[in-house]
Amino acid sequence: MNITITDVISIIKKIIDISLVWIIFYYMLKHIRNNVKLSLIFKGVALVIILKVISDLFDFTTVGLLLEYVIMYGPLALIIIFQPEIRNILEQIGRSQLLGRHKVLTVDERENMVYQIISAMDSLRKAKIGALIVLERDISLGNYIDKAKKIYADLSSDLLISIFFPNNPLHDGGVIIQGDRITCAGAVFPTSSSSKLNKRLGTRHRAAVGISEETDAIALIVSEETGRMSIAIKGELFYNLTIDDVRMILIDELRPKHDSLEDEFEDEEDIYEENN
């Protein structure tokens, strides 16, 4: 069997074509997972498809007919109703970074980053000074940085405390940290409208949850009224945490995750060697 150059080119084209499709699906699912609202939409669509399969399997005529109409006109309805969410995911894809700044930090730099943040939050909670600190990860927060007061300073607990000190013009907004640097202060974030949140929570907590719903950022909050500390991650609010809780969550969330199967195999080998 003779293989010509044309056959080789055709095979390469098919491999590239399939690879591009998988890359598109990968990034779509990745951003849907990081966006709480879009993940709910995705689950709803999956549920409709499952119900349609079941109705066809058991010959449920009426249910099947209704689901056919849903499948037929559903995409148009989703585009109209969830236009803001769809726009957000497209913006997220455009703002995505191949390598978040927190991932290029050394172990010592990451430990110092956590230490400075924890020290600042401990002082702020004791003095009952409200604060909102947002840590950028893979999805860029450039859109919020552009509208805030630029700082571009090395991260330190003293600087964080001074920013949120009462009567400081910037204390009402949020601070954005990229890597181990404070990029801006006075940032304004979208507030969450989630019904799961306690109605007594203020704007600072709702803004923290809001930015964590739309991006993969970590939002740290110190309550001005109670001095309690909270963390918002992926649309979920962890309320009334201790200093040790905040430290452990930060260390875990900022630790670089496995980027390949090879890394996982290496870790498994290390664990095996330690146990034997």
Label residues 6-23 b or e (16+ Cβ within 10 Å = b): eeeeeeeeeeeeeeeeee
Structure confidence at residue 175 (pLDDT): 95
Q: Are 142 and 275 in contact, with CB atoms under 8 Å apart?
A: no
Please give the order of strands across the beta sheet that includes 174-178: 149-154, 181-187, 174-178, 131-135, 218-222, 229-233, 236-241
Alpha-carbon radius of gyration of the chain: 23
Domain extent listing, the chain: 5-95, 101-254
Q: What is the pLDDT along the chain (276 residues), one digit of tens a residue?
A: 567 788 778 888 888 888 888 877 776 666 666 556 666 677 777 887 888 888 888 888 887 788 787 777 777 776 776 666 666 666 555 555 444 455 567 888 889 999 999 999 999 999 999 999 999 988 888 889 988 999 999 999 999 999 999 888 888 889 999 988 999 999 999 898 887 888 888 899 999 999 998 888 999 999 999 999 999 998 899 999 999 999 999 999 888 765 444 444 444 444 444 444
What's the first-to-final CA gap in the chain, in angstroms? 52
Rounded to two decimals, the pTM is: 0.63
The conformation of residue 165, written as its DSSP 8-state character, comes to S
Q: Using an 8 Å Cβ cutoff, are 152 and 183 in contact?
A: yes
* CATH dotted code for 101-254: 3.40.1700.10
